[in-house]
Amino acid sequence: MSSRPFNFAPGPAVLPEPVLARAAQEMLSWGDTGMSVMEMTHRGPLFSKIHEKALADFRALLGLGPDHEVLFMQGGATAQNAIIPMNLLGVNAKCDYVHTGHWSAKSIDEARKYGDVHLAASAAAPTDAHPAFGYIPAQDQWQVRPDTSYLHICGNETIGGVEYHVFPKMKDLGAPNAPLIIDMSSHVLSRPMDFSQIGLAYGGAQKNIGPSGLTFVILQRRLIQDRVPKPQPTCPSVFDYRKVLENNSLLNTPSTFAIYMAGLVFEWLIDQGGVQEMQKRNEAKARMVYDAIDGSGFYRAYVETAARSLMNIPFFLPDDRLYEPFLQGAQQAGLLNLKGHKAVGGLRASLYNAMPVEGARQLVHYMKAFEKAYG
């Protein structure tokens, strides 16, 4: 076993140790080629093998059918916030969004540059039971325009710790022809998901897949084929879904090393038992930490139980003066990067696929010891 500390960072985040070890072993020579993956042409047969395997394994893990395509792009989830309206707005330029926190707000702000943005629902107002952005608005209250080009949600608010455990269905929302678009940056591959109901899903790889520099886009073929109107004429070619697809994500030089690393993570995931097994482990890890919070009367979490994220758990101490000693003691115990995002404050534990169950166990052990000392 290793003596590396447990890294609870929100992203870039922990990677499976066997993946890092294998990358190190293959660093100077991939197979018997005498070349690092970083030194290979992206158009040659060697990289092509790595690329195709990564795509095929990703598709298999996601359980995608023939209706869905996978693109590897660059620019992160942030670029997608512009790329989506540039490609998918219809003639009336209408697009609907649900506002549940920091990352959906970013998507909304960017879309306003391109389209007629309507908030189908928002958690900006506190309810009797929950603070602002501590819940997902009840779906029967959403107001989706029937002629919207699409509905966008953030599947897991990485900062606020609010997650959809079930995705909405467009036919229940009165817009059966509009695609559902999901920012999946921080929970893709964390559990089985039914993509037949999802028009497009995207995210940066650096949360739950691999290193930064790679953006995944999973989309229904029909969204870019037989679709009128076409992307906006000023849409850059590298951001034109149709062109990226026609070129098999090799329109220009892709992030080759990040694709290779993601491929190693996909192999590791398949080896571990895929997304079913990840769901089990992720539920077990999150349950341990939430139980420690709920059972303490010392730690506090604010997100409604039904929308609590399994991936990112924000939590708070009873006194602001305790954060410094908590974080220092955690670091000494080999538990890194537990500071909350400045927008929310407090603490945050990110428990992505690559975080071992033992990491969550040690965090809970530390939390109990800290409470005993300071509570």
CA 198 centroid distance within chain = 15
Q: Write down the catalytic residue from 207, 240, 268, 285.
A: 207
Residues 88-147 that bind ligand PLP (CB under 6 A): 103
Shorter beta-carbon distance to ligand PLP: residue 74 or 149: 74
Q: Is the Cβ of residue 10 or residue 263 nearer to ligand PLP in the bound state?
A: 10
Minimum separation from the CB atom of position 333 to ligand PLP (A): 26
Does 261 contact ligand PLP by CB under 6 A? Answer: no
Coarse DSSP helix, strand, coil percentages of the chain, rounded to the nearest 5 percent: 40, 15, 45
185 binds ligand PLP (CB under 6 A): yes
Is residue 280 flagged as an active site residue? no
- For residues 197 to 236, the per-residue mask of contacts with ligand PLP, x marking binding by CB under 6 A and - elsewhere, is -------x--x-----------------------------
Which part of the chain contacts ligand PLP (CB under 6 A), choosing from 52-60, 183-191, 238-246, 324-332?
A: 183-191
Residue 309 · residue 134 · CB < 8 Å: no
* Nearest alpha carbon to residue 364 among 275, 292, 274: 292
Residue 184: CA count within 13 A, CB half-sphere? 26
Q: Identify the active-site residue in 57, 183, 268, 285.
A: 183
Instruction: Decide whether 40 or 349 has the Cβ nearer to ligand PLP.
Output: 349
What sign has the CA pseudo-torsion 5, 10, 13, 14? positive
207 counts as catalytic = yes
Residue 344 as a binder of ligand PLP (CB under 6 A): the answer is no
- Kindly state whether residue 254 participates in binding ligand PLP, applying the rule CB under 6 A: no
Nearest to 185 by CA among 84, 274, 81, 76: 76
Q: Which CB sits closer to ligand PLP, 208 or 317?
A: 208
Contact predicate 188/216, CB 8 Å: yes
Which 21-50 residues touch ligand PLP, going by CB under 6 A?
A: none
CA dist 347 and 85 (Å) reads 34
Of 132-140, 180-188, 269-277, 303-311, which segment contacts ligand PLP by CB under 6 A? 180-188
* Whether the Cβ atoms of residue 344 and residue 160 lie closer than 8 Å to each other: yes
N-term to C-term CA, the chain = 33
Q: Is 103 a catalytic residue?
A: yes
Which residue, 297 or 345, has its beta carbon nearer to ligand PLP?
Answer: 345
Q: Which entry of 30, 103, 142, 268 is annotated as an active-site residue?
A: 103
Compute the chain's Rg from CA coordinates.
Answer: 21
Answer for the pair 188, 175: CB distance below 8 angstroms, yes or no.
Answer: no
Q: What is the dihedral of CA 126, 128, 134, 136, to 10 degrees?
A: -90
Site string for ligand PLP, 62-81 (x = CB under 6 A): --------------xxx---
Q: Which residues bind ligand PLP (CB under 6 A)?
A: 11, 76-78, 103, 154, 158, 183, 185-186, 204, 207
Please give the positions annotated as active site. 103, 183, 207
